[in-house]
Amino acid sequence: MRNRSIRLAAIVPILLLLAGCFGGSYEPIGYFVIEPALTITPGTPGGDSIAVQPLDYARMYKLRMAYRGQGHGLGYRANAQWAELPRDAVTRTIGDALRASSRFTDAGPAHEIPRPTLLLTGEVRIFDEDREAEPWQARCEVRLDLRKREDDSLVWSETFRAAKPMAGTAPEDFAAAMSTAIGDLAQQVVERFAR
């Protein structure tokens, strides 16, 4: 009888622990796309071709949706992720904008252009929602370097920034505002080539 009581006393906590592990509610992860709408006005065609290297990114900006809170705090939305890496979305959008500008004989990803005359490299420095702003904002900051491919000389180096207010506080509001912000940032890049 005593052995049976000891066994029960050992089994009951294990069963309670397992019930807690399997009895909780499950909330699926939502995946959100970045779909910038580009309205690029074609410019005067030039003689250069340009290749856009995949942008580097700060370690924290991967698939999880990041936000900045009070002070210098950084957090991530629970159960919400980007459908693709932010750096890939920004790289693709900048390449699409440069191609739409008609300023180059060829423009696009570096792996598609065999011998470009210009090479665009850089880093996504900020890709988050700012919860200290009122209303909350989607923010994107990218540092870009334009180099001549033949001798690797620097043509220009500049930081581009865009921020757009969010319509609400849901992940889909963040995705919509970020899509607009990235489109604006790509427009700034195209305008930089017009100078």
Q: Which two tokens stand for residue 148?
A: 């001549």
The answer to whether the CB of 157 falls within 8 A of the CB of 145 is yes
Q: What type of residue is 7?
A: R
Averaged over 1-14, what is the pLDDT? Answer: 61
Query: Under a CB-based contact definition with an 8 Å cutoff, are residues 124 and 57 in contact?
Result: yes
Rounded-to-integer distance, Cα 78 and Cα 90, Å: 23
pTM (2 decimals)?
0.84
Report all structural domains of the chain as residue ranges with CATH numbers, in order of start: 2-194 (3.40.50.10610)
When the pLDDT of each residue in the chain is averaged and rounded to a whole number, the result is: 89
Please list the residues that pair with 109 across neighbouring strands.
Answer: 52
In this prediction, residues 138-146 reach a mean pLDDT of 97
Which residue from 191, 72, 63 is spatially nearest to 131, judged by alpha carbons? 72
Q: Whole-angstrom Cα distance, residue 12 to residue 153?
A: 71
**Per-residue pLDDT tens digits for 49-78:** 999 999 998 777 899 999 998 877 889 999
Share of the chain above pLDDT 70, in %: 87
∠179-183-189 over CA atoms, to 5°? 145
Of the candidates 31, 5, 191, which has an alpha carbon nearest to the alpha carbon of residue 101? 191
Name the helix (H) or strand (E) containing 21: helix 2-23
Q: Are strands 74-82 and 64-68 parallel, antiparallel or unpaired?
A: antiparallel
Question: 141, 132, 131: which is closest to 174 by C-alpha?
Answer: 131
- Identify the residue whose tokens are 């300023």: 103
Confidence at residue 162, expressed as pLDDT on a 0 to 100 scale = 98
122 closest CA partner among 95, 92, 159: 159
pLDDT digits (tens, 9 = 90+) for 156-184: 999 999 999 999 999 999 999 999 999 99
